[in-house]
Amino acid sequence: MVGKQRDAKILDCTIRDGGLVNGWDFSTEFVRELYQSLSRAGVDYMEIGYKNSPKLHHVPNAGPWAYLTEELIRSTIGEKTATKLSALVDIGRVDEHDIVPRSESFLDLIRVACYIKDVDKGIELAQTFHDLGYETSLNIMAVSHARENDLNEALEILNGSSIDVVYVVDSFGSLVQRDIEYLVAKFQKFAPKKTLGIHTHNNLQLAFANTLTGIDMGVVYLDSSVYGMGRAAGNCPTELLVGHLHNARYDVRPLLDIISRQFIPLRDKVEWGYTIPYAITGLLDEHPRTAMALRASAEKDEYLAFYEKLTTVETHGAHL
């Protein structure tokens, strides 16, 4: 256990996943301060945003962290510390010509997110980044909806690729610890050469618990976000991981400080974290988009009606 804890690498994805909450409306000063706090806390990686192309994927009113440029990263970070930087890209939304070689970049790791049907495209894209010198990961989203044989096959292909890290991603926050144990064992069986990562959501208040289960199973890369700031129910809180792991390089104090000063006021303006609608989509193993829409509406606390809507079979208008 202690050995497994020592191997752990924390990847804080507050700006990237938390950006899904506030439209990436973080000031340069906020991002710089977060990087400095994570560095002092000993966090291994900070994911500073998406490196998608606005030409290929336009999000209205998105802040700059949705479309990272080298200039933005460089002017924000200033001087790099031991904390590495990562960016996420989506299949079909990234222009490979936007990516300079790692030797000219502030980024260390590029992560490719894809659904299981696109795993071939994901591997091809990650290979491009690998050839440019980056560390790479493939994050297989919505793994709770993957068909067993499709997943096994995808993992076997991944095992033969140059990708460094393969992630178990609980996109819907619907998995419990036994599911994590089952999936990690499967990933280890079918992709034994790969280092594993885990990315959790907190719909069932299990994001930290599932991450701990991952550590116990030998998962190395642990996604988290400060005060859990991530889409919908949010992620595994960075402060809990840093506070819990017995490793001399971690120090929770810089995180406590930035949570007090930045995240408490921010949480008063925008919502993330456990609420009943997110618990409902988690229990139903569904994408949280319906719950996100509910929380943005006047009916945000009408839980029973929301549950009935999601679980009642619509018959009117259906072709029987």
Query: Interface residues with a second copy (CB under 8 A)?
Result: 1, 176-178, 202, 204-210, 212-213, 216, 227, 237, 239-240, 243-244, 252-253, 256-257, 259-260, 264, 276, 279-280, 283, 301-304, 307-308
Least distance to a second copy from the beta carbon of 276, Å? 6
- Total Cβ atoms within 10 A of residue 286: 17
Please say which residue, 31 or 252, places its beta carbon nearer to a second copy.
252
We find the least distance from the C-beta atom of residue 262 to a second copy, in angstroms, to be 11
304 or 318: CB nearest a second copy: 304
User: Least distance to a second copy from the beta carbon of 35, Å?
Assistant: 18
Hey, what amino acid is at 66?
A: A
State how far the alpha carbon of 99 is from the alpha carbons of 50, 102, 103, 104, 165, in Å: 12, 8, 11, 10, 20
Q: Considering the complex, state which of residue 136 and residue 202 has its C-beta at the smaller distance from a second copy.
A: 202
For the chain, what's the residue count?
A: 320
Q: What angle do CA 143, 148, 154 make, to 5 degrees?
A: 75
Nearer to a second copy, 115 or 274 (CB): 274
**Closest residue by Cα to residue 290 from 119, 282, 140:** 282
Minimum distance, C-beta of residue 111 to a second copy, in the bound complex (Å)? 25
- For a second copy, the closer CB: 127 or 205: 205
Neighbour-count burial of 51, counting CB atoms closer than 10 A to its CB (0-12 exposed, 13-18 middle, 19+ buried): buried
As measured in angstroms, the least distance from the Cβ of 282 to a second copy is 9
Comparison of 129 and 278: residue with beta carbon closer to a second copy: 278
* CA dist., res. 173 & res. 286, Å (int): 9
Give the CA distances from residue 130 to residues 42, 70, 101, 115, in Å, rounded to whole numbers and listed in that order.
26, 18, 10, 20
At residue 10, φ and ψ (nearest 5 deg) are: -95, 130
Report the number of secondary-structure helices (H) and strands (E) in the chain: 14, 8
φ/ψ bin of 59: left (φ > 0), alpha (ψ from -120 to 50), beta (otherwise): beta
Of residues 66 and 206, the one with the C-beta less far from a second copy: 206
- Tokens representing residue 108 in the block: 């260390």
**Closer CB to a second copy, residue 62 or residue 280?**
280
Residue 220 is given by DSSP the state -
How many angstroms separate the CA atoms of 279 and 62, rounded?
Answer: 27
Q: How far is the CB of 248 from a second copy (least distance, A)?
A: 16
Cβ–Cβ under 8 Å, residues 126 and 158: no
